[in-house]
């Protein structure tokens, strides 16, 4: 069936339940994607529904470029689960340009393996509003205290707790996300280390809220645990949506491996969301 010239195709995908609407602008022209249109498409009641809208573009420095819009319309630097989804859609090994740097994705026996690059720990690269020890920040929000700050393409605060499921993350997450300490806001991770090779994790994602999975959150949490000597250099991080394998190599690069899936394909009329094709 031939698609109407006014309709824009999309692919709905997910990584462990963290779901995306993917628009491919490498060949066909797309409507201008701004915060308003991204948020409208992400709305689960009146739009297509997703945690993030992913826009693919041509790149002059990599195989393709990926732009990432959270459900509230804000554009962010990196998304590990989306990188796996884009790797699956691309169908072969690829270097992917993001606002957080170039990452690499390749098919793996366990799904898609993504080279997430080198984590950053300096306070000004998180960024924080002022200098603090990022391995044990002397700050707290009620029972959540002394987090580790890590930037893995986007900023994360990682709290280690006895039981991550007992934390009221829906209430505390937005308070921490928008605290003035984090001028670009922050992703909030609450983690429980269950062995030298395993971590349980829940994430409040800036601009998206509670999520079934967060790939950069899994990377940030794993590296934070390794820096504190709580785990070995390869761990399984289990989120509500399922497990990811995170390895931090001697070359300081993080490799994340896990599944990605295509859910369905469809199209939408930009005019229905106040945009023009």
Q: List residues with catalytic annotation.
A: 79, 214
Q: Residue 105, Cα to own-chain centre: how many angstroms?
A: 14
Torsion 223-227-229-233 (CA) sign: positive
Measured CA to CA, the distance from residue 43 to residue 47 in angstroms comes to 5
Please choose, from the candidates 262, 276, 277, 268, the residue with its C-alpha nearest in 3D space to the C-alpha of residue 43.
Answer: 268
Encoding tokens for residue 234? 């390869």
The residues with which 3 forms a beta bridge, in sequence order, are none
Please report where in the chains the tokens 């005019």 appear, as a residue. 271
Measured CA to CA, the distance from residue 28 to residue 229 in angstroms comes to 49
| CA-to-CA separations, 58 to 25, 29, 77, 143, 212, in angstroms, rounded | 8, 12, 17, 45, 30
Please report where in the chains the tokens 């429980």 appear, as a residue. 192
């Amino acid at each position: 069936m031939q698609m109407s010239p006014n309709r824009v195709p999309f692919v709905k995908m997910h990584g462990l339940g963290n779901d995306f609407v993917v628009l491919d602008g490498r060949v066909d022209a797309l409507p201008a994607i701004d915060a308003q249109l991204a948020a409208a498409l992400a709305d689960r009641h009146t739009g297509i529904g997703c945690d993030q809208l992913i826009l693919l573009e041509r790149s002059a420095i990599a195989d393709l470029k990926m732009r990432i819009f959270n459900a509230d319309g804000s554009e962010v630097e990196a998304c590990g689960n989306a990188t796996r989804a884009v790797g699956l859609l691309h169908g072969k090994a690829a270097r992917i340009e993001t606002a957080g740097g170039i990452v690499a994705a390749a098919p793996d026996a366990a799904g898609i393996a993504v080279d997430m690059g080198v984590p950053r720990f300096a306070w000004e690269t998180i960024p924080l509003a002022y200098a603090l020890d990022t391995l044990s920040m002397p700050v707290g929000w009620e029972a959540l205290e002394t987090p580790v700050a890590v930037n893995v393409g986007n900023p994360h605060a990682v709290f280690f707790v006895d039981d991550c499921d007992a934390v009221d993350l829906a209430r505390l997450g937005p308070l921490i996300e928008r605290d003035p300490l984090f001028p670009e806001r922050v992703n909030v991770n609450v983690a429980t280390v269950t062995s030298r090779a395993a971590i349980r994790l829940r994430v409040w994602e800036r601009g998206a809220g509670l999520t079934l999975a967060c790939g950069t959150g899994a990377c940030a949490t794993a590296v934070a645990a390794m820096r504190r000597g709580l785990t070995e250099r390869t761990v399984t991080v289990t989120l509500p949506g399922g497990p990811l394998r995170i390895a931090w190599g001697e070359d300081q690069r993080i490799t994340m491996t896990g599944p990605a899936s295509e859910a369905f394909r469809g199209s939408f009329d930009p005019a229905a969301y106040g945009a023009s094709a």
